[in-house]
Structure 1
Amino acid sequence: MPKQVDHESRRRQIAAAVCQLADESGLEGVTLRDVAARAQVSMGAVQRCFGTKEEMLVFALGHIGERITARVSARLAASPAQSARTAVGHAVTEVSLVHEEHRAEARVWLAFVAQAAVSPPLAGILRTNYAHLQSLFARLIAESSGTPAPDRAARALLALADGLTTHVLVGHLSPTGALDILDDHLNRLWNEQAH
């Protein structure tokens, strides 16, 4: 009897291989053959899971977005009694990928962002991920700061997080410097609402 394969588990295994290869050499270094070798599956297994390389990349990007969102949710759930200002700070810190343990994920994320500029399917996944995170930030801001424009504040915060990721990754800012900028921005946001 042939071995049963968990299709979703296999797709996630392949997505992890895509991310490892993208971390090492960017998305241009991701080939079906290399993905199969890294995932320790056959080329046929990769092709059964994904009809095209772009479909594989779209799934891998969605997988990264899910991991980041899950990490944000876990961070918020870990400290339910915290102030809303602190909750927003924790959430945006997880999204900004400035910590050393997220450096590989930041490299992969930015490789996908660059590719999304010329790939409408990848751009669509990014828009969905950004919309979800923006909604989360807007909800947290609205619940606590009393700002009259929580969506606008959330958009600015998300753009700042993305920018800080890039600046830390290329060495323009240290992680501590990026977190200081983020903290200053949040303090201004909350102080503006207090007046």
Structure 2
Amino acid sequence: MPKQVDLEGRRRQIAEAVCLLVDELGLEGVTLRDVAARAEVSMGAVQRCFHTKEEMLLFALAHIGERVSERVRSRLTAGPAQSAASELGLVAGEVALLREEHRAEARIWLGFVAGAAVNQALARTLRSSYAALEELMVRLITEATGGSSAGAGAEGGGAEGDRADGAGAEGGGVAARTEARTLLALADGLTAHVLVGHRTAAEAEEVLHAHLAGLWARR
């Protein structure tokens, strides 16, 4: 009987190989041959899992995003119940990828961001990831400031994420959506600053904590 292959497991195995190559060589350094060698599978196995290189890159991007999202979910559900303000700090810290053990993920993520500047398929996937994170931050800010959750639960951002007023839910005088967008942009920017050595991880964490403290001070 022919050996049964776990296709989804094989796709994740290949995605891990893609991520390792992006970390080492950047997105432009990823070739099907090198991916096959790094994943320790044949070129044919890679091509059976992904019809095109772009399909493979999109899956790898979703894979790294899901890895970060799963860590966020785990931290939010682990241990005793926490306040929305504390949970927001945890989410922002995970998104910023400031810890040393997450430095490789930060390099991989920014490698995909750079590629998305000239690849619309990658850009669409990144926009979806950012929109989902924004919605989570809007909800937590709204809960922390005791405001209404109206407009804070749109799936994947969509039109809500592009509203001209940029406000969304209001809570305790804080425009939750505007604050969420600011926090997400800050966390993402700190990732780059740490990677290029403009800030140390400790300095970046101070900036992040100072911003959150200022947010609650404006309640």
TM class, shorter-length = over 0.9
The structure where helix makes up a greater share of residues is 1
Partner in structure 2 of residue 164 of structure 1: 190
Root-mean-square deviation over aligned CA pairs? 0.9
Q: Deviation at 1:79?
A: 3.7
1:83 aligns with 2:83: yes
The structure 2 residue matched to 1:174, chosen from 181, 200, 205, is 200
Q: Which has the higher contact order (CA 8 A, sep 6+)?
A: 1
Instruction: Tell me the TM-score normalized by structure 1.
Output: 0.96
Aligned-partner SS, 1:118: coil
Equivalent residue for 1:129? 129
**Counterpart Cα distance in 2 of 1:109 and 1:90:** 19
Distance in structure 1 (CA, Å) of the matches to 2:195 and 2:86? 24
1:105 equivalent in alignment to 2:105: yes
Per-residue deviation, residues 1-28 of structure 1 (Å, max 9, x unmatched): 2111011111000000000011111111
User: Partners of 2:56 and 2:184 in 1: how far apart?
Assistant: 26
Partner of 2:218: 192
Q: What stretches of structure 2 of length at least 5 have no aligned partner?
A: 147-170
Distance, in Å, in 1 between the alignment partners of 2:175 and 2:80 is 24
Over the matched positions of the two proteins, sequence identity in percent amounts to: 64
| Deviation by residue 1:150-177 (Cα, 9 ceiling, x = unmatched) | 1111111110010000000111101110
Q: CA deviation at 1:82?
A: 1.9
1:31-46 matches, cutoff 5 A: 31-46=31-46
Alignment: residue pair count: 193
1:95-144 alpha-carbon deviations (Å, 9 max, x no partner)? 10011000000000000000001111100110010011111111111011
Which residue is equivalent to 1:74?
A: 74
Task: Determine the C-alpha separation between the residues in 2 that align with 1:171 and 1:9.
Answer: 36
Provide the secondary structure at the position in 1 that maps to 2:218. helix
Give the counterpart of 1:151 among 156, 177, 184.
Answer: 177
What SS class does the counterpart of residue 51 from structure 1 fall into? coil
State the distance in 1 between where 2:119 and 2:3 align.
Answer: 36
**Tell me, what secondary structure is at the counterpart of 1:130?**
helix
Structure 2: how far apart are the matches of 1:89 and 1:138? 13
For 1:80 and 1:155, locate their aligned partners in 2 and report how far apart those are by CA, in whole Å.
28
What TM-score results when the alignment is normalised by the length of structure 2? 0.86
